[in-house]
Amino acid sequence: MHITICHLKKTFGSKTAIDMESYSIQPGEIVGLVGNNGAGKTTLFRLMLDLLRADRGTVELDGVDVSRSEEWKRHTGAYIDSSFLIDYLTPKEYFHFIGKMYGMDKETTNEQLKPFERFMNGEIIEERKLIRNFSAGNQQKIGIIAAMIHHPKLLILDEPFNFLDPSSQSLIKHLLQDYNKHTGATILISSHNLNHTTDICRRIALLEKGIILRDLINEDHSAEQELDNYFNVKE
């Protein structure tokens, strides 16, 4: 999916959260957003998903302004935080519910869950436990899987490595790379973990106070040094 951002601005009171003149992401790219707290990563995702009103400017997905149509929602998957989860359902019920929203029956949904079996580590799908009773890490896994279950053309994940154990962090990296390779989907992730971001993203946008400070091409970890220089505070 092709993403075009034009003259996008969002302020909260006197604070500018996002101020982007123009930014474009090509179909099939894996883009990482990095930046310190308050840089505007989550705000940008919310604007892309039409969960926030922009003060001015547009986000277009395949040429469609997200605030003027709902058609793009069929081809988009996202997980921002636990407010995306219906926590009084069991994970299985939740996946079936999400599946139904995209026109899938239970059998198809179960089939779509198979690639995630290792990621779920036998702790999620067979449990007769409500989502709210799972650990933060397992809730994160449920949210990520629900975002990917219908094979979206655009996948947006905010801090996907948060709360996950090291094995699961490694697994999700491989899952995302495989998913991108096999479906050609555009993937956007934000993270504070620079190693993971440089491992999987071929392009990295460095955000500061809502502005894209650097748009880095990351071939063979080439962006690592520049990010290191930016984030490492010297006395």
Partner 1 sequence: MIYSILRQHQKLASKRHPMFERNRYAKLITAIAIGIGLVYLILIGLFLPIILHAVRPNGEASRLFNQGMPYLLMLDFYLRFLFQKIPVQEIKPYILLPIPRRQLIHFFMLRSGSGFHNLFWFALLIPFAFSAILTHQGISGVIGFLAGYWVLFLVNNYWYLLCRTLINERLVFIFLPLVFYGTFIAIEILFPGNKLNTLTLNIGEGFISWNPLCWAVPLILLLSLYLTDFYIQRHYAGKELAKSDSTRLRHVSEYSFLDRWGETGEYIRLEIRLRIRNKAVRNQFRTGIICMLAFSILLSFSNIYDTGFMKNFICVYNFAVLGVITLVQIMNVEGNYLDGLISRKESVLSLLKAKYYFNIMLLIIPLVLCIPAIWTGKITVLTAITCLFMTSGPIYALLFQLAVYNHKTFPLDSQITGKNAGGNSFQSLLTGFIFLIPILLNDLFCWIWGEIAGQLILLMLGIILTLTHPWWLQNIYRRFMKRRYVNLDGFRNTR
Binding footprint of partner 1 on the chain (CB under 8 A): 49-53, 70-71, 73-74, 76, 78, 80-81, 83-90, 93, 97-98, 100-102, 127-130, 132-133
C-alpha to C-alpha distance for 169 and 140, rounded to whole angstroms: 11
Of the pair 70, 220, the CB lying nearest partner 1 is at: 70
Bridge partners, 15 (sequence order): 12
Q: At what angle do helices 91-101 and 106-113 cross, to 10 degrees?
A: 110
Of the pair 48, 206, the CB lying nearest partner 1 is at: 48
Of the pair 50, 60, the CB lying nearest partner 1 is at: 50
C-alpha to C-alpha distance for 60 and 107, rounded to whole angstroms: 34
| Closest to 131 measured CA to CA, from 178, 79, 75 | 79
Shortest spacing between CB 4 and partner 1, in angstroms:
19
Contacts of residue 14, defined as CB under 8 A and 6 or more positions apart, other chains included, come to none
Shortest spacing between CB 156 and partner 1, in angstroms:
9
Shortest spacing between CB 150 and partner 1, in angstroms:
10
Hey, what long-range contacts does 113-116 have (CB within 8 A, 24 or more apart)? 113/145, 113/149, 115/175, 115/178, 116/145, 116/148, 116/175
Shortest spacing between CB 66 and partner 1, in angstroms:
10
Shortest spacing between CB 50 and partner 1, in angstroms:
8
